[in-house]
Structure 1
Amino acid sequence: MAEQNFSAALATWKEINLSELQKNLDATAVELVDNQKENLVGRKKLAEQTREFKKLPDDAEKFAAIKVLLKAYQGEIDALTRRSKMSETSFLNVYKLLADAPDPYPLLDAAVDQTVKVAEARMLENELTRLREENGELKKSLGEAANVEEKRKKAESKVEQLEEKMDDLIRERVTQKENELNAEYDERIRNYEEREKDLQRQVEMVKKQLRDLHMSNESAEAKLLNVNQRQEQDVAARLAELDMVAADLARANERVATVERRNEILRSEIESVRSGSQQAERAKALEAQISELEAEASRVLAALDAAKDAKTEADHQIKKQAEESAKEISARTAEVDGLKAKMKEMADYDEIKRELEIMKYVEFSGADFGDDDGEKPQLPDPNASVANKQRGQSLEKLLTSKNRRLLEDLTKLRVSWEDLSSEHAKAEEIIEGLQVDLALQRGLVEKLEGDLMVLNNREDRAGTPGQGLAGLDIGGKPDGRASPANSGSQDSSILPIVTSQRDRFRQRNAELEDELRKQFETISDLRTEVKSFQADNLKLYEKVRYMGSYRDSSIAKAGPSGGASSSGGGGGGLLTGVLGRRDEEIGKYKDKYDESLNPFEAFKGREAQRAIQALNPVERGLFSLTRAIVGNKRARNIFILYAGSLHILILFILWNTMAASDSTSHPPVTIHP
């Protein structure tokens, strides 16, 4: 399993062709740097064109220049799109190559460990072979000398014991190493599988975050350059490690070859000892050599134990460093995730700021700005990132300007309302005088008509036509007596005068009634407008209170320095001066604002709504109809006209009925001649 993974890793890295990939990444990095420079030049040029466009005074020139500016913006957007596509293509190409590639460090580490263990096993095997050869040589020397047969047997038994011990030791060490390697390889394979799953999950997360990377393309390019430099450093470090491993492997191979040659020599000596061709001195020398070999073997074992301890300590240090690196990586990952989450939370900052500029433009576009104001609020650019780079007027200053304008309008309307009220009072006085005169004239007219009717009745009874007005004193001489001819002429001349005077009074009365109705309409309109201004002032008072708390908190946080705070402070001073002159109005609006926040009023409204809901459908419909009629001026006038016409119709019907009943109860009298 481990060999298959190792061979698969080698095949994968061979297919990756790291040197060619580095060349491609170098070319891509150079192209990205060139694109960054071109983007910087294009952005500067676009900013210059935008400033020149804003400086154009005429709308016609702006309309002609906006096409060029839009083309420049479109070209910049196309360049950004090409850069984004190139970055995506480069990232996907690198990802396709490195997606299935395993981490080479564990494989190289396992190869180094395996090489060291194989070298140790070969060294032990060579030592065993050398001891066997020496044992054979000793056996040969002991076979030649009869007096040393017993020593030879002891040496043989000792050599056999050594061989058995060495065999047992080798088998135990080999079994132990095999178990350790198998466990380590199984653990590493499981770790690789888990890491592969984690990498797959990370790949899914990277795919999901790829859209976010489009928004931060410039930072991604800078990070890509840093990543390339870091990869070059990692590759250089790994190449240095590979060189060190290759040097250690060459030294181990040389040592193995030396040990093999020595084993061959010892094997030949042992064979010569076994054949008995050597002398007793040779046996003694071999025994001494065996003792030396035993001592050397003990030293080798001690060195092996020391190497094991050093390896254990090195593994402990490596694990400690790996844990520290993992902690640092997790901390960096958490920091990066936090920054990404913060960026996601603040992703709509530009849009919110643009909406605030739009609201400021819509709300304060009609305000009167003086010469001391910086500039009038303008509709922000649809490109939020470019629009937010421009610093507009502060909200406090705009509120101050609008409040000042509204206060001026309110003052003008109050003055005009006072003038109209005085004119209305004068008109009412004139109307009252005219009504008194009209009442007097009506009394005189009625008296005159009564006198005329009396005179006409007398004339009818007397049977002398033309003398109805004879007894009427119209300003002539008291002692004179009018003749019948003079009486007829006076009667014919006074009636047109009276009727024309009555018509003039009626016309004047109608004109006065029209003027009075117009005055009432003007007063009602002014009252409605005053109510609307009072509602606007109440809202402005609420905004002023909010901005006052906002200004206090911003001053407490930011201090006296800052353009927005200074502008807000200037506006606040002006607002304080204006409000100082309007203490009474502000107190009235404060009382109204506090009443609107009164919970008892809200409870009263809820109780009224509950009582309305408790009515039956007929009563609820009648209540809604009444409220609609009373709340609308036109509906009230229509209802009054309808009620008046209905009463007139009823009175007319009653009068006709009474006249018909009178005519039936008193039949006409026929006069017979």
Structure 2
Amino acid sequence: MTMAAEPLQTALQSWAEIDLPALRPNLDQTVQSLVESRETSLQARKSLGERTKTLKRAIKTASDDGTTTSIASLATECKATIKAYQGEIDSLTKRCKLSESNFTKLYDVIYNREDPAASLRRAMEIVQSRDDQLENLLGAMEELNGELEGVREKEQAWAAEREELLTQLKESEVRKDHDENNNNNNSNNSALSLAEREELIQLRSEVAEYEVEFKGLKNQDITIRKLEAKIEQLEKDREHELQTELSKAREELAEVEGRRATEALEREAITSRKVQSLELQLRAERAGREASASQLLAAEDGLGEHEAAWEAQKQILVGDADRLREELAECARERDEVRLRMEAVLERDEGGSGGDGTTTTPPSSGGAKMLLAEYMSERKAYEAEIGELSDTCNALREELRAKEDSISEERTSAKSKIEVLERERVTLTNQLSSLELKVANAPSQDVVDKMRHELRILKRLEYNALDIDHNDRSDPETTVGDDLESVLVAKLRKVEADLVRERREKSEGVKEREELNSELDNVKKSLGEAEELVASLENDLQLAVQTPTPSKTTSRSNSSSAELPYAPTNPPNPNTLQKVLDPNAPLIVDSNPITKPPTASAASQERANDDHSVATIVMAQRDRLRARCDALEAERDSFKRELQVQVQTSESLKTDNTKLYEKVRYLQSFNATSGGSMMRGRNSSLSSDRDLDIEALESRYEASVDPFRQFSRAERQRKYNEMSPLEKVVFIVAKTTLGSKEMRKALFFYVLGMHLLVFVTTYHWSHSSSCDFLHKHEALAHFHGGMPLPESPAGEAAAAAHQAAKLLDSN
């Protein structure tokens, strides 16, 4: 029992170290704090609902009024609402962190302890052994009861025998009394009384023994009854204690087993999903490997067949070339034989002519010419045949070279394909290993579900979205279908949508107001400029009409006053312009008359005044033009500054849009993994009402996020910076020429045309050079109208005939 109780003692000590009574106040405090935080969050949510209602009212008032005060109140209300939502999000995150910290503390306390199931199992074994002992004791008690019943039966038999003996004793006493009354009996009777007395004494001794035994049996019976009562009491107490302990142990075991079962099921589901994903990946990789292996085998088989075919063709071409060489050698040998025969015939002709001492006759010269003509025709035929054979041989060599090049290209392409497939296999193995590491390092499903739930709440409270039902205008707090979080999210989305719409309308109204204000300012400015221009022109005209003979001082003063743009000294007189337009018109009476200087009457003075007025007008126009140029330059500078500001704002808006698209993309991926029909409805409503160009945002986001593109761009820039100027020029030219499909096609046809031109030119040049060589050859000159070689009498005769023909032609 001590060996069996040692594990129970260690388990008891390990669980006693937890000090659950001391830990309960902390747990109660944490639970109380969680309950209070939950109540405060509920109150905060109610206040958020009230704030959203006030925000709706402010939005309605702002949309109805459209005043700056209502817009300012709407902005303050929006800020307060957003701050309230941020505070609620902060409180939720604090609650999450507090629960996580409490869970980790409890996990650290419980994780290092032994499994109570083992100790309870040992306790159950001990209890079972004790139950077995009790059963054995009960069996022994039943045996003792059987023995006691036998003893009782014996006691009853002994009591019956005792009663018989007592009756016999009474009878003997009666007999004794009778015998004492009859003292006068004979000796035989006295002998019988002595025997009876001995028998009586023996019976008394037996009765005394039986009484002693009966007393011992009664004591044993009393002790047995007491022991039975004690055993029954102990059995009842033990059964009660065992029932209570077993109920507690069963409850604890049920809780532990339930937790373990849920954890095991979750782990089993996670492992099954991981195994399924890994099996799919392995199947895909095996299929890819089998496909790559089959492609490699097919490529190798095709390559072997191609090589065998090309080798056979090569052997055939080599045999044809050897045969052509042999035929060419035979033709050369025949040509040499014919040449030798010709030389022999010529020598014989020369010998015959030398022996006779006379000149050759015309018949002999005619036979030589016929032989020479036959020889030349045969030679031409042989040369033509040799040219054809050489052309065929060259064509076969070129074809053989082209086939060898194609075979080498196919080999290189097959090697490159093999290398690519090998790299793909290596990348697939690396991806498989990385996926296995990711699966091994992946968190449990409980943590993922908790994080998803928290993220879902935070995202639904944080990001912009449209309301699910635009036509539902009822109070969201009274709805029963959704929980408070979904209601808050729907209300927040509706408020954000309304806020965005109001902001857009406000921005459009502000833009329209600014445009109208700018147009009004421009109109006022142009009106002021026109008024100033008219006033200056009237002053100039008045000066031109009424100015007397200018002197040096007046000209200086006028020139100094004219240098000031739009600076008339006196207000214009309307009568001046009216007089110029209509001399017969009546004068306009002015409340502030201007003192008119006396007009000159001489023509020279008027001419001088006209010149001075023209000069002043030109100078005033120059000054106005200069001021206008300065104003335009200032306006241009302001436009440049505004353009820079707009460019900066556009860049910042692009970055904001990319960030917003990143959030939207994350939400879409999250909704795709965990969303249902409601999220699909929300996504459809969002896709129907979105105003941004998603494709442009997606391309910009992919370009900003893709690490391979960034790495390739950085590497390209680094390589470009490392290039020399000449390499940079070549790179830019190649990029511009090969950058488009049309340029590549034009370059291809240009190169093809140049190759064809070079080929045709080379062929023409070779043909013309061979023809010129044949034309200029001395042995064949007479075939083209030239003189033959004077090696033989026939040749000399032909030369003489040719010279005579030339003389006749010249005469």
The TM-score, its normalising length taken from structure 2, stands at: 0.21
Report which of the two structures shows the higher radius of gyration computed on alpha carbons.
2
Normalised by the length of structure 1, the TM-score is 0.25
With CA pairs under 8 Å and 6+ residues apart, which has the higher RCO, 1 or 2? 1
